[in-house]
Structure 1
Amino acid sequence: MRALKSSVTEKMKRIPSFLPRVLLKETSLDEEIVRFFFSRYQLVVANDDDEKEVSFKTRHKVYCEEMKFEQTTASSLEIDQYDDRAINCYIKHLPTGECAGTIRLVLPKEEDGSLPLEEKFSDAFSSSSLLPSSLTSEGVCEISRLAVPREFRVRQFKSKVFPRKKLNKIKQSKNLDFNLEHFPYLSIALYLMATSVCLHLNMSHAYVLMEPKLARRMRAFGIHFNEVGEAISFKGKRVPYRLSPLDFVNDLSKTLKRFQREVHDTMQPSLQKMSLGMSMLDNKVDYANIDYNSAVFQRVGDSKVSRAA
């Protein structure tokens, strides 16, 4: 009996040393990204005036005060003529309540189906068949006004998304499809948010005017923007690009697919609220008959997906 007690006691002493290894299963790379981001940030679709003002203030801070791209305004809001037909989204930093970044999606003009990019730079397009107004029957929009305040631009490059020990282990395994040490998670999350809005509205094409170096950088993460025109001089060198929201999801780096799925799923309640509140603009997309239960809206990003009928 004494020998049995001694054996049990000895085993109990060893439990603390091995129990953590049993219970604390090592998280995968994609799980680590999701855990890091959603423990610090909240996704917001600007459905009311107060939320829209957050986006406008952030845009003013970045575009007017930091970048000097636009003139400052007395209201400290950066608003243009396209915001009447735009959907704004932003990322809220949970510890401070500050806006960590914003982006918008502009719907086509009711009269001719054009987008801001076409109205300003139609001559830059390689072919008239690539103009947004020639594709309105398929559902088009423009992604613009991506803005991340300076303090959060710095934060995202200083943040340790992954523990140093784990990062070194990943490097040694070489099982990595992008550079984790310089991971622009806020910019990527904003593009994922915009893409989720595109999918929700059944958009086939999204246009964006951006710096070529940003497009190249995003390509490293499996985010492909296809050139549809020549470089122009507009607040620096810019090129018109186009993307297919479905291809965007399917081509994402494997490591980011779960992040995209979590972004998409998290946004669904706000997107449904947006659909109820938004006016049905005549951009030839039948919002009323979109099948929100279709495969496109069910766990998009798990695998190759096809467009809803």
Structure 2
Amino acid sequence: MGLFAGAADKVNRLWKSYKKLREAASISNHFAKYLAPKVATSKELQQEVFKIRHNVYCDELAFEPVKPDGLEVDEFDAFSVHCLIQHIATEAYAGTIRLVTPREEGQLLPIEKYCADAIEHPEFTPDKLDRTQICELSRLAVPEQFRRRKFDTHPGAATGVINEEIYSETELRCFPFIAIGLYMSAASIAFKMGINHAFVMMEPRLARSMGFIGIKFIKIGPTIEYHGQRAPYYINAELLMKSLSPSFRMMLKDIKNTINKQLPS
């Protein structure tokens, strides 16, 4: 009897593993069917980045003044790598994010320049880490035309926040894949560049949203008023891979493969 019970347990474990693998492949395939990550390696693609940012940060949210040329650009773009998510069917760009990578004397992360006093963690502080090993995830923006569903029109949707009244941990199929794909694209670039430490100023709601799928940011300071309620967060490669759910780990793997093909060897 014990032999049959042991065999049944083994079959049950194998079946559960198969279902998890199938679910993981389904999520990654769903993303790849509709959306494609792009690295803005050309001037033309960078212009698309700056247009989206102007639409969201200047026209919609009024965080920055409207620019005559319709491009939102700042000092940090000179040492940043930019990502886009493209909607495959329409070829329209559905979102952007940048990876700020200071390398030279005097180059600071945005969080260092504007929110340094908010960082209170004794260990995870930019000035205590190797400058070649730090970056900041910044300027995440999703255009309005990709947030027209009734549950994506809430405050914060433009910067990736999930509506917690609609989404839950068990409703992964409803997640806004654009924001998740942007963070994974930026992480893929960081991996490729050998950067291990990442900082971000974001709404605590967004941090909780990302936590649903296992992207566990560490809060390193209090919530402050900075274009709304924002707090400083930290994550590294080990923390990301340790906590990321299996379903989205495969999605990250596929995005990494796509991003790596677009970057220099």
TM-score (norm 2): 0.81
Which residue does the alignment assign to 1:52?
46
Q: Which segments of 5 or more consecutive residues in structure 2 lack a partner in the other structure?
A: 1-20, 153-167
Tell me: CA distance 1:100–1:122, structure 2 relative to 1, closer, same or farther (3 Å).
same
Q: How does 1:149-298 map to 2 (within 5 A)?
A: 149-154=143-148, 178-180=170-172, 182-272=174-264
1:141 to 135, 139, 160: 135
| Aligned partner (choices 91, 116, 134) of residue 122 of structure 1 | 116
Question: What SS does the corresponding residue of 1:154 show, helix, strand or coil?
Answer: coil
Equivalent in the alignment of 2:125: 131
Higher relative contact order, structure no. (Cα contacts within 8 Å, ≥ 6 residues apart):
2
Change (3 A) 1:155 1:190: farther
Distance 2:259 2:103 in 1: 26
Query: Given that residues 102 and 135 in structure 2 are in contact (C-alpha distance below 8 angstroms), is that contact kept between their aligned partners in structure 1?
Result: yes
Matched-pair contact (CA < 8 Å) for 2:37–2:182: no
Separation in 2 of the partners of 1:264 and 1:111?
30
CA offset at residue 182 of structure 1?
3.0
Aligned-residue sequence identity (percent) comes to: 36
1:35 and 1:157 map into 2 onto residues whose CA distance is: 23
Aligned partner of 2:85 in structure 1 is 91
- When structure 1 is superposed on structure 2, of 30-39 and 74-83 the one drifting more is 30-39
**4+ residue stretches of structure 1 with deviation over 6 A?**
none
* Contact 2:118 2:224 (8 Å CA) reproduced: yes
Aligned alpha-carbon RMSD (Å): 2.1
Read off the aligned partner of 1:225 and give its amino acid letter.
F
1:103 aligns with 2:97: yes
Can you list the C-alpha shifts for 1:10-41, whole angstroms capped at 9, x where unaligned? xxxxxxxxxxxxxxxxx922222222221222
Report the alpha carbon displacement of residue 67 of structure 1 after superposing the two structures with TM: 1.6
Bigger radius of gyration: 1
Which residues of structure 1 form unaligned runs of 5+?
1-26, 159-175, 276-309
Given that 2:102 and 2:132 are in contact with CA atoms closer than 8 Å, whether structure 1 keeps it comes out as: no
Residues 51 and 70 in structure 2, CA contact (< 8 A), matched pair in contact too: yes
State the 1:223 CA deviation: 0.6
1:59-98 equivalences in 2 (<5 Å): 59-98=53-92
Count of residues in correspondence between the two structures: 230
Output one character per residue of 1:33-66: Cα deviation in whole Å (capped at 9) or x when no partner. 2222212222110111001111111111111112
